[in-house]
């Protein structure tokens, strides 16, 4: 169909409507493709900067799924260039996210170690349910964040003192409190973690049958507002894996595997336990809210030499974080 008008100098001016529609369709296709392509570049290159982009990066698994929409639009519209960019975008985001859903763990031989980590939300977590979880899972080590003085007393009164008598605690009346509980003797370590943000105690666990294992209770500030700089500083200050000892980092990292500071921490000799067994996409925050948990910010990072047998995630009433439990096997380091 054509639209025509009489020219003042004679003849007819013809404007192809189809051409204008084609250009508009191409423009809309690129409008759909471009944000996902930019997201993929930022994720792969670790370009997130500032508070808002950093927080948005936590939604990368959802962006990976959403990137299929512009790919479909470009394919249906036969926009070859846009379809090629959309395909590369989906592939980049998919390869960044999908491996977390497929376990590659090698359950290596070694001494068993069971680690449980939970953020107690200013001590608001239901202490009875925390103790029920501890009794059911029987962890060797419990890494607790947002541990208050009152929660320490309440958990001990409910039996934690007899189940896990060894502890290195740094409770506070606010979110900065943290603590490590253990069935086995603990030796506090003061030079392992730089003091940035919340308390992050570290200890050497006298695991039976061989050399001790080191564990760090991780809890950096959330990447909100000006706190994003200290969040990154805290993650970059986490100790690397050591040739001389097995080291484990467990806690609320306030970061997903799509954040470049956490990936840098992993590159220093660690692997994410949940990622190893195909549980890396199970969200841990926010729990017990009107909306279901949507992002995975609670982790147990283990030395590359540590075997991962199983990882499970558990909801505890009263806290906005889900607990993460890992069954590990630790080598004896000479």
pLDDT band at 304 (very low <50, low <70, confident <90, very high): very high
Q: Measure the CA–CA gap between 251 and 144, rounded to whole angstroms.
A: 7
State percent of the chain over pLDDT 70: 94
pLDDT for position 26: 87
Q: With b meaning 16 or more CB within 10 Å and e meaning fewer, what string describes 117-147?
A: bbbbbbbebebebbbebbeebebbbbbbbbb
What is the residue whose two structure tokens read 């040739």? 243
Condensed to tens digits (0 to 9), the pLDDT of residues 166-177 reads 999 999 999 999
Give the position of tokens 């290596």: 108
Shortest CA distance to 257 belongs to which of 138, 70, 111, 95? 95
- Which whole-number Å values give the CA distances from 120 to 62, 129, 146, 167, 193, in the listed order? 27, 11, 5, 17, 21
Task: Output 121 or 209, whichever has higher pLDDT.
Answer: 121
CA distances from 301 to 38, 65, 142, 324 (A): 29, 26, 14, 11
pLDDT of residue 94: 97
- Mean pLDDT along residues 82-86: 97
Share the mean pLDDT of the chain.
93
**Residue whose C-alpha is closest to residue 222's, from 180, 268, 175:** 175
**pLDDT over threshold 60, residue 3:** no
Q: Directed axis angle between helix 68-76 and helix 80-97, to 10°?
A: 160
User: Which superfamily does CATH assign the domain made up of 106-330 to?
Assistant: Endonuclease/exonuclease/phosphatase (3.60.10.10)
Place of tokens 């320490």: 152
128 token code pair: 């009875």
Query: Residue 313: what are its φ and ψ, rounded to 5°?
Result: -120, 135
Distance CA 273, CA 297 (A): 13
50 class by beta-carbon count within 10 Å (0-12 exposed, 13-18 middle, 19+ buried): exposed
Q: Report residue 235 as tokens.
A: 């993650």
pLDDT at 265 over 70: yes
Return the SS3 of 66. helix
The C-alpha atoms of residue 312 and residue 282 are separated, in whole angstroms, by 9
- Taking the whole predicted model, whether its pTM rises above 0.95 is answered as no
| pLDDT on residue 74 | 95
CA 17 – CA 34 distance, rounded (Å): 26
Give yes or no for residue 67 having a pLDDT over 60.
yes
The C-alpha atoms of residue 166 and residue 194 are separated, in whole angstroms, by: 23
Q: Where are the domains of the chain?
A: 2-100, 106-330
pLDDT of residue 282: 98
Q: Does 105 score more than 80 pLDDT?
A: no
In the predicted structure, residue 8 carries a pLDDT above the cut 60 = no
Predicted pLDDT at 97: 97
Residue 160: what pLDDT?
Answer: 98
**What is the structure's pLDDT at 228?**
96
Q: Round to whole Å and give the CA distance between 275 and 44.
A: 18
Predicted confidence at residue 194, as pLDDT, reads 86
Give me the mean pLDDT over the 53-63 stretch. 98
Task: Please tell me whether residue 207 adopts helix, strand or coil conformation.
Answer: coil
Mean pLDDT of 289-316: 97
The pLDDT score that the predictor gives to residue 17 is 56
The pLDDT value recorded for residue 104 is 78
What's the whole-number mean pLDDT along residues 231-253?
96
| DSSP assignments along 142-167, one per residue | EEEES--HHHHHHHHHTTHHHHS-EE
pLDDT digits (tens, 9 = 90+) for 19-32: 777 788 789 999 99
Q: What is the pLDDT of residue 216?
A: 98
The Cα–Cα gap between 234 and 54 comes to 15
In this predicted structure, what is the pLDDT of residue 22? 77
> Phi and psi at residue 13, in whole multiples of 5°?
-90, 125
Res 14: pLDDT: 55
């Amino acid at each position: 169909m054509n639209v025509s008008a009489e020219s003042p100098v004679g003849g007819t001016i013809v404007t192809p409507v189809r051409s204008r529609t084609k250009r508009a369709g191409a423009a809309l296709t690129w409008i759909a493709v471009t944000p996902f392509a930019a997201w993929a570049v930022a994720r792969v290159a670790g370009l997130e900067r500032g508070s808002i982009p950093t927080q948005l990066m936590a939604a990368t698994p959802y962006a990976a799924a959403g990137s299929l929409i512009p790919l479909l639009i470009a394919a249906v519209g036969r926009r070859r260039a846009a379809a090629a960019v959309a395909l590369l975008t989906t592939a980049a985001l998919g390869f960044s996210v999908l491996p977390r859903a497929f376990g590659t763990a090698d359950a290596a031989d070694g001494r068993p170690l069971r680690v449980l980590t939970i953020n107690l939300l200013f001590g608001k977590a239901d202490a009875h349910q925390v103790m029920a979880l501890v009794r059911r899972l029987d962890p060797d080590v419990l890494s607790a964040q947002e541990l208050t003085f009152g929660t320490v007393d309440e958990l001990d009164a409910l039996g934690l003192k007899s189940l896990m008598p060894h502890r290195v605690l740094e409770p506070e009346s606010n979110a900065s409190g943290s603590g490590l509980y253990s069935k086995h003797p603990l030796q506090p370590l003061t030079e392992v973690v730089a003091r940035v943000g919340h308390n992050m105690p570290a200890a050497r666990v006298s695991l039976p049958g061989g050399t001790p294992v080191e564990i760090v209770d991780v809890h950096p500030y959330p990447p909100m507002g000006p706190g994003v700089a200290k969040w990154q500083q805290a993650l970059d200050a986490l100790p690397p894996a050591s040739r001389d000892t097995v080291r484990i980092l467990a806690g609320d990292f306030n970061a997903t595997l799509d954040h470049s500071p956490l990936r840098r921490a992993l590159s220093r000799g660690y692997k994410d336990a949940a990622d190893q067994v195909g549980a890396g996409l199970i969200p841990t925050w926010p729990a017990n809210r009107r909306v279901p948990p949507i992002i995975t910010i609670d982790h147990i990072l283990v030395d590359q030499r540590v075997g991962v047998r199983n990882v499970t995630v558990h909801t505890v009433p009263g806290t906005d974080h889900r607990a993460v439990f890992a069954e590990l096997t630790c080598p004896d380091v000479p």
